[in-house]
Amino acid sequence: MPLLEIENLTVQYHTLHGAVQAVRGVTLSIERGRALGLVGESGCGKTTLARALINVLARNAAITGGAVRFDGVDLLQLSGGALNDYRWRRIGLVPQAAMDSLDPVYRVGDQLVETMRLRGGLTPAQARERAARLFALVGLEPTRLRLYPHELSGGMKQRVVIAMALALQPKLVIADEPVTALDVIVQHQVLRTMRELQETLSLSLLLITHDISVVADLCDDVAVMYAGRIVETGSVREVFAAPQHPYTMGLRNAFPSLRASSARLVPIEGYPPDLASPPNGCAFAPRCPFAVQRCWGDDPVLMPTGGGRLAACHRAMEADVLRIQAPQAFARLEATGSQAVEGGAPGGGIP
């Protein structure tokens, strides 16, 4: 049984302009001891999905359906103290903009010790001893426990937050854009630390990012999210080597490759849809060079495509041919500055 099972999860934000459907029927699972990368453009619902797992959403957000089972227990049916037993103790969180989540007027060691005393029931001596071990584990000298956040570099603060997420020995760590604000050298150091921790401690990891290179470096499996839904899942090696959804093809073609350094990068033309009024049919159809008539009216669902992979595309079985055409097809959409038109495949795909 997977450690975490998400089934048909939906989340809405209530705004002055109506309900925004940020997460729309997501079904996903994370196996024990494996790292899953969740990728997609900004605003596709990645952070909302992560925060919904432990119900730390904004005040104007509401979970409107679905289930989140952790070790067989549906977390959405818990409240108050029962849910708090899972936060930090079983599920650790490295939040987005983690470097800014440290209290500037408290020493970092005091913040770490306080977490372990209040949420883990440790004595002050036990908490200080574990704090020193955690700092050593993430590559920080225990003497830095005495420092304030402003006395640490960005990479050091990121490591402190990772140590806090590990403080109560959780089974699952959710890391939301953990290296976005760091330079590439520090990114490499932090990612290497996370990979070593995940392997050493047999952690399950949910890594949220828009950077597919981070997922390729750190994760075992990947889920691609678009417009509040999962459009493709599978092992990192298989999905990035042979994507089956046009959106994943577009992401791969828009990212530089060391193996094909001379290849031109091709962006995905257009913008994600407004989730206050989601479109009929496939949400990616207006940006897809392979969209056909069915895509505009029939919303595809995740379906098995072989080898444990899933894709939500009416033309997934044609993926081997579409991948060959994808660079030129997306390039034509970019050149014309237009999006796909209903009923055709203007990028040159198979009609």
**Mean pLDDT throughout 209-225?**
92
Per-residue pLDDT tens digits for 93-147: 998 877 778 999 999 999 999 999 988 889 999 999 999 999 999 999 999 999 9
Lowest-confidence segment of 30-34, 37-41, 100-104, 178-182 by average pLDDT: 178-182
Q: How are beta strands 4-15 and 303-306 bridged, if at all?
A: unpaired
C-alpha 98/C-alpha 138 separation (Å) is 15
33, pLDDT greater than 90: yes
259, pLDDT greater than 80: no
The sheet carrying 303-306 orders its strands as 91-94, 172-176, 204-209, 35-39, 221-226, 229-235, 309-311, 303-306
Q: For Cα atoms 345, 350, 351, give the angle at the middle one, nearest 5 degrees.
A: 60
Strand ranges, E, within the chain: 4-15, 18-30, 35-39, 61-70, 73-74, 91-94, 172-176, 204-209, 221-226, 229-235, 303-306, 309-311
What values do phi and psi take at 28, rounded to 5? -160, 155
Q: How are beta strands 4-15 and 18-30 bridged, if at all?
A: antiparallel
Query: What residue ranges define each of the domains in the chain, with the CATH number in brackets?
Result: 4-224 (3.40.50.300), 242-336 (no CATH)
C-alpha 297/C-alpha 295 separation (Å) is 6
The kind and range of the H/E element at 79 are: none
What is the rounded (10 degree) CA torsion for 210, 251, 231, 165?
Answer: -20
**Mean pLDDT throughout 83-90?**
89
Q: Which residue, 2, 125, 144, 20, is CA-closest to 11? A: 20
What is the rounded (10 degree) CA torsion for 116, 117, 120, 125?
Answer: 80
Lowest-confidence segment of 67-81, 178-192, 270-284 by average pLDDT: 178-192
Find out whether 135 and 11 touch, Cβ atoms under 8 Å.
Answer: no
Q: According to the model, what pLDDT value does residue 349 have? A: 42
**Half-sphere exposure (CA, 13 Å, Cβ side) for 299?**
9
- Amino acid code (one letter) for 184: V
268, pLDDT greater than 60: yes
Q: According to the model, what pLDDT value does residue 338 have? A: 61
Q: What's the token pair of residue 108?
A: 């970092």
Q: According to the model, what pLDDT value does residue 101 have? A: 84
Q: Which residues contact 63 (CB under 8 A, 6 or more apart)?
A: 9, 10, 11, 52, 55, 57, 76
Beta-bridge mates of residue 68: 6
This model's pTM is above 0.85? yes
Q: According to the model, what pLDDT value does residue 350 have? A: 39
Q: How are beta strands 221-226 and 35-39 bridged, if at all?
A: parallel
68, pLDDT greater than 90: yes
What values do phi and psi take at 49, rounded to 5? -60, -45
Beta-bridge mates of residue 207: 37, 175
Provide DSSP, 186-232.
HHHHHHHHHHHHHHHTT-EEEEEES-HHHHHHH-SEEEEEETTEEEE
Q: What's the token pair of residue 212?
A: 């597919």
Helix (H, G, I), strand (E, B) or coil at 190: helix
Q: What is the DSSP letter of 98?
A: G
pLDDT bin (cut points 50, 70, 90) of residue 345 is very low
Q: Which residues contact 81 (CB under 8 A, 6 or more apart)?
A: none
Q: Rg of the Cα trace of the chain?
A: 21
The pLDDT > 70 percentage for the chain reads: 93
Q: Which residue, 325, 326, 64, 39, is CA-closest to 208? A: 39
Q: Mean pLDDT in the chain?
A: 90
